Amino acid sequence: MANELSKGQLVARGLLSQNPVFKLALSMCPAVGMSTSIKTGLMLGVAVLFVQVFSSLTISLFKNWIHPRIRIPTYTLTIATWVTVIDLVLSAAFPAAYAEMGIFIKLIVAFAIITMRLEMFACKETVSDSLFDAVGMGLGFMFGMVTIGFVRELLGSGMVFGYDLLGFKPLLFFILPCAGFFVVGLMMAFFNWIEAKYRDAREQKS
Amino acid sequence: MKKKTRDIFFVFIAAIVIFAVTAIAMVFPSGDDGFITEKAFEGDKEIVLTTAQPVKNVPAAEAFTVFEENDPDIQVHPQSVSVDGKKIHLTFSDRLNQSNAHMVKAPELAEGTGPVATEVSRSYWGFLLSILISALLINNYVFTKYLGLCVFMGTSKRKTTATGMGIVFTIVMLLSAVMSWLANRYILVPFHLDFLQVVVFIGLVSLTVQAVDTILRKVNPILFNAFGVFLVLVIANCIIIAVPLYMASNQYNLIETIMLALGAGGGFLLALYLMSSVRERLELAQIPECFKGLPIAFIVAGQFALAFLGFSGLQIG
């Protein structure tokens, strides 16, 4: 099956129209659990980007040798291998940040977004298209994590990237763990609202 | 159909509860040591002994000797001893390792009762129960650890699907946790292959799912038609890999692992059932257009998470 989108469109699709966090709603565990600050969001985003790109490349390279009936276990084991790689690298290179992330780096193995991109895209398309699709999805995830982290950090502790910006704490509630649900819910509603406005405006024009 | 779902749900929850109640019944064995009627740890640093008669001769703190049962050479004395009617509080300067049994020796405390030698240990059933209840409520994987949300949001629209997913998940969780424990205990730990944990555990999960799928398809096609669709989703659930990792880092034994898996599975089922009950009603409610679907579901989940915070003060065992 040929893919009619250009490379740039593949990347843009992951970032915006099919954003894994806000649109596909496929990687909600980290978006709720690990988004208390921009820093942790960015770290996890980098790890997911790495795993997504390398698993997509691996599956895309070997797609002709994988029997369809065992494809899901194959995807899982491929992802698990790359997760082990990034897990060992991060624990050696950034021990402090790694301790903060806790178990979440290992849990990337069960993130639905990665398996889904392998199933929907990488197992059918060419290697270079898969690479750009994976980069788009990884960046889209990172963008989602950073946005949620920014909102929670700014409103919860009045800081941005660890620098005290406001000097006071507007809504301490947002730094509480369970506020992740509220922030994600409100942001999804916000994006839906913008989309509806945009669609209305376009319809009126035509 | 709706009634049937509810029946399945209640039977399943009832099975877990009956198991828990049996465990509670065994938590309080009728311990009779003669003069000492009850003994227990209190807090991190205290042992409380309850006696049959009021204590007459209050000995000095140095007169009490306490040691861990498997380490009789290292003996400690309490920092202070206070008596309050029939209760003797022994306070220590350091934390006690409560997972080991402690021997307490003391001179005669009342006329004609003889010196005291008694063993204090935390009830093992209580410990098991605490693992179960903790995974079920206090550290509910969905509402306090924020795991498994994709599947949680995807399958909580109807009570039928929610119950089916929860039950299938619990069964697969139990099977794969036992297999992961065996692999961890007999392969990964002896050969120092800890870094392969993720690969081995997720491999075992895929294997279990594939096996249950194949067996169920042949053995009970009716059940397969009802629950088969959920099997694939189990793999995409973070909880299924979080439980083996937690088990490995806490060095649980087999029974403790089974309790943890039951608690995690039951907690997921409970969360799904609660959420699906709300979401069925949300469909009839008037919600602003942009909040329809997932956004409002997330806000409801946030409220559940706030409610589950209330369990965090619960102390068991």
Tell whether A29 lies on the interface with B, counting CB pairs under 8 A. yes
Residue B305 identity (one-letter amino acid): A
**CB atoms B302 and A178 under 8 Å:** yes
**pLDDT tens digits, A147-162:** 888 888 888 877 777 7
Q: CA Rg, chain A, in Å?
A: 18
Closest CA to B34 of B120, B121, B123, B115: B115
Give the whole-angstrom CA distance, residue A47 versus residue A45.
5
Mean local confidence (pLDDT), A48-64: 91
Whether the per-residue pLDDT at A200 is higher than 90: the answer is no
Residues B281-301: tens digit of each pLDDT? 998 888 888 888 888 999 999
Residue with tokens 């496929």: A26
By mean pLDDT, which of A75-79, A89-93, A100-104, B19-23 is the weakest? B19-23
* Best residue in B207, B213, B238, B300 for a mutation probing chain A (most A CBs within 10 Å): B238
Contacting residues of B for A181, CB less than 8 Å apart: 298-299, 301-302, 305
Of the candidates B242, B295, B306, which has its C-beta nearest A103's C-beta?
B242
Is the Cβ of A184 closer than 8 Å to some Cβ of chain B?
Answer: yes
Mean of pLDDT over chain A = 84
Convert the pLDDT of each residue in B133-147 to its tens digit: 888 888 888 888 888
Q: Look at residue B3 and give its three-state secondary structure.
A: helix
Q: Look at residues A156, A175, A30, A177 and name the one whose alpha carbon lies nearest to residue A105.
A: A30
- To 5 degrees, how large is the angle CA B260–CA A115–CA B162? 50
pLDDT in tens, B67-115: 877 677 778 888 888 887 778 888 888 777 776 677 888 877 777 777 7
Chain B residue with the nearest C-alpha to that of A107: B238
Q: Do B298 and A188 touch (CB under 8 A)?
A: yes
Least confident of B124-138, B158-172, B226-240: B226-240
Position with higher pLDDT, A122 vs B175: B175
pLDDT of residue B31: 44
Residue of chain B minimizing CA distance to A79: B199
pLDDT computed for residue B24 by the predictor: 58
Across the interface, of B232, B291, B306, the residue whose CB is closest to A72 is B232
- Whole-number pLDDT of residue B279: 92
Structure tokens at A27: 């990687």
Q: Which fold has domain B38-121?
A: Immunoglobulin-like (2.60.40)
Contacts of B298 in chain A (CB under 8 A): 181-182, 184-185, 188
pLDDT band at B20 (very low <50, low <70, confident <90, very high): low
Rounded Cα gap, residues B82 and B102, in angstroms: 19
Sorted by where each begins, the domain ranges of chain B are 2-22+125-313, 38-121
Three-state secondary structure of A126-172: CHHHHHHHHHHHHHHHHHHHHHHHHHHHHHHHCEECCEECCCCCCCH
Residues 138 through 157 of chain B touching chain A, CB cutoff 8 Å: 143-151, 153
Q: Residue B59's pLDDT is what?
A: 75
Count residue pairs from A and B with Cβ separation < 8 A.
Answer: 125
Decide if pLDDT at A1 tops 50.
Answer: no
Phi, psi for residue B50 in degrees, rounded to 5? -110, 135
Tokens 């001893």 sit on residue: B81
**Residue entry with tokens 């002896």:** B190
The alpha carbon of residue B70 is apart from the nearest alpha carbon of chain A, in Å, by 33
The Cα B13–Cα A67 span in angstroms is 40
**B269-281 burial by CB neighbour count: b if 16+ within 10 A, else e?**
bbbbbbbbebbee
Q: Which stretch, A14-23, A157-166, B206-215, has highest mean pLDDT?
A: B206-215
Instruction: Provide the pLDDT for residue B3.
Output: 66
Best CA proximity match to B241, nearest among B277, B207, B202: B202
Kindly give the residue spans of alpha helices, DSSP state H, lying in A94-126.
Answer: 95-101, 104-107, 112-117
CB contact under 8 A, B245 and A103: yes
Q: Which positions 3-22 of B are in contact with A (Cβ < 8 Å)?
A: none
Does A106 contact B238 at a Cβ distance shorter than 8 Å? Answer: no
pLDDT of the residue at A52 = 92
Other Cβ atoms within 10 Å of A65 Cβ, number: 7
Q: Does B282 touch chain A (CB under 8 A)?
A: no
Measured between CA atoms, the residue of chain A closest to residue B288 is A189
